[in-house]
Amino acid sequence: MQSKLQLKSQSIKEKIIEIRRALHRQPELAFSEHQTARLVSDLLKSLGYEVHEGVAGTGVIAEMGEGRVFALRAAMDAVAIQEENPVDYASQVPGVMHANAHDAEVACLLGAAVLLAEEPIDGRVRLIFQPAEETADDTGRSGAAKMIEEGVMRNVTSVLGLRVTTSLPAGVIGLRPGAITAASDDFRLIVRGHSAHGARPHEGVDAVAITAQMVTALQQIVSRRTSPLKPSVISVSTINGNSHSPHVVSDLIEMTGTIRSFDEKLRLFLREEMRRTCEMARALGGDFEISFTEGYPVTLNDQRMVELLMLAARDLIGRDKVVFTEPELDAEDFALLSQKAPGGYFFLGAGHREGPRAPYQPLFDIDESALHIGAALLAEVARRAIGRRGDSDTQERISSFLSFRNLAKQA
């Protein structure tokens, strides 16, 4: 038998899809989400929320109720990709696309806002519509960091967020306690040699040849210097030389890339190993400079939040639609919010009917039929976390789940 919340979420299913498509047609890059923020704030005001606009530039905060504060968050920014989907809701902004599913996540949170407005919780809900998850400003601060500075996490007891993903079938919920997304660091590596004509490379120091060996050596750090039981990645993403002639060997090569890890000690170890590996440039007659830009930390899920998520999801969609997932090496600035209060971050499956549609690609798209499930789950967890705190049935079921999990570990 479906709950009132399930029935209500079904009734607004098409509206949530309509919102997602409106956002998809008009994507906006980080810190420029003006039209998106206007759509969000107008809808929230119509629902009776107390709305604060212009937070961290283009962010929106909406609140309703009194008492303990439970926060729900969605990011609003798109990415610089030209969409190639032949659909009537394709991006109308050249070179910009919601290839990150943030349009879907905003639509889910707005759906949750509708559900919570019609059946308020016994507490205060704070809805966070965040700019700039994908990038940082000139000072290195992402949207979450800037919103935290402006007080978005003040008095928050718990915070919940979701990622709409095509890596899970539509309607499946993926979650896990502990680390769920990775820490990220970017690097910039300069290799210096001495220029020479391509016909007489022996007269110089070939920065290209040194770079080729360094790329191979950097890849061996993860495969040979770290435990295979501790996932990590070093990716060299760009290589550019300063010569514009095919006849002249570059004397300066710039490489950029990213590092991902789930452990702070490993994070520091990878940086130090990269510095040590790069010393080979000097052994080969060249020189190097390497610098790191610290990105987002590991997103850590609070155990109690995962338990509430698991129970709410099983009640809403059934036990078979809730899975424990492996952590992902993608990074998320939700991690900054969950450092300020116990956090829960989960995956909402929206795998496309026509097969895999990888994110950050021109043909990325989702199965929209799952979006109302995300809205219902956001609302239900907020209701249980605050509105039914101490509910004996919920507590008994959490205890039962923990006992079962402990037995499973021993088996």
Q: Among the options 328, 332, 368, 380, which is catalytic?
A: 368
Mark whether 360 is an active-site residue: no
Residue 411 falls inside a structural domain: no
- Specify whether 273 is located in the same domain as 383: no
Residues 283 and 155 in one domain: no
Cβ contact 55:150 at 8 Å = yes
User: What is the distance between the alpha carbons of residues 99 and 31, in angstroms, rounded to a whole number?
Assistant: 17
- Which of 49, 89, 296, 345 does the annotation list as catalytic? 296
Would residue 407 count as lying in a domain?
Answer: no
For residue 117, is it within any domain?
A: yes
CA distance 71 to 151: 12
Indicate whether 39 and 124 sit together in one domain.
yes
- Residue 346 CA, chain-centre distance (Å), reads 10
What residue numbers bound the domain in which 215 lies?
Answer: 183-294
Q: CB neighbours (10 Å) of residue 23?
A: 26
At which of 262, 294, 326 does a domain end?
294
Residue 176 sits in the same domain as residue 187: no
The verdict on 140 and 38 lying in the same domain is: yes
Q: Do 148 and 80 lie in a common domain?
A: yes
Q: Where are the beta strands (DSSP E) in 106-182?
A: 124-130, 156-165, 173-175, 178-181
Is position 410 within any domain?
no
Q: Which residues of 197-219 are buried (b: 16+ CB within 10 A; e: fewer)?
A: eeeeeeebbbbbbbbeebeebbe
Ranges of beta strands (E only) in 178-333 are 178-181, 183-192, 196-197, 232-241, 248-249, 252-261, 287-294, 299-301, 322-324
Q: What is the CATH number of the domain that holds 229?
A: 3.30.70.360
For residue 387, the model assigns a pLDDT of 66
* Residue 408: inside a domain: no
In this structure, are 212 and 138 located in the same domain?
A: no
- Has 368 been annotated as catalytic? yes
**Domain end among 263, 294, 325:** 294
Q: Is residue 35 part of a domain?
A: yes
Give me the residue label for tokens 């990150």. Answer: 100
Tally of domains within the chain: 2
Same structural domain, 326 and 398: yes
Q: Is 259 inside any structural domain? A: yes
Q: Is 267 found in the same domain as 334?
A: no
Of 259, 294, 329, at which residue does a domain stop? 294
The domain spanning residue 16 has which CATH number?
A: 3.40.630.10
Same domain, 77 and 123: yes
- pLDDT in single tens digits along all 411 residues of the chain: 567 888 899 999 999 999 999 999 999 999 999 999 999 999 999 999 999 999 999 999 999 999 999 999 999 999 999 999 999 999 999 999 999 999 999 999 999 999 999 887 889 999 999 999 999 898 889 999 999 999 999 999 999 999 999 999 999 999 999 999 999 999 999 999 999 999 999 999 999 999 999 999 999 999 999 999 999 999 999 999 999 999 999 999 999 999 999 999 999 999 999 999 999 999 999 999 999 999 999 999 999 999 999 999 999 999 999 999 999 999 999 999 999 999 999 999 999 888 778 999 999 999 999 999 999 999 999 999 986 443 444 444 444 444 444 433 433
| Nearest of 144, 172, 123 to residue 320 by alpha carbon | 172
The verdict on 232 and 146 lying in the same domain is no
Do the domain assignments include residue 409? no
Q: What is the pLDDT of residue 3?
A: 77
Tokens standing for 292?
């790191």
Are residues 288 and 306 part of one domain? no
H or E stretch at 393 = helix 392-410
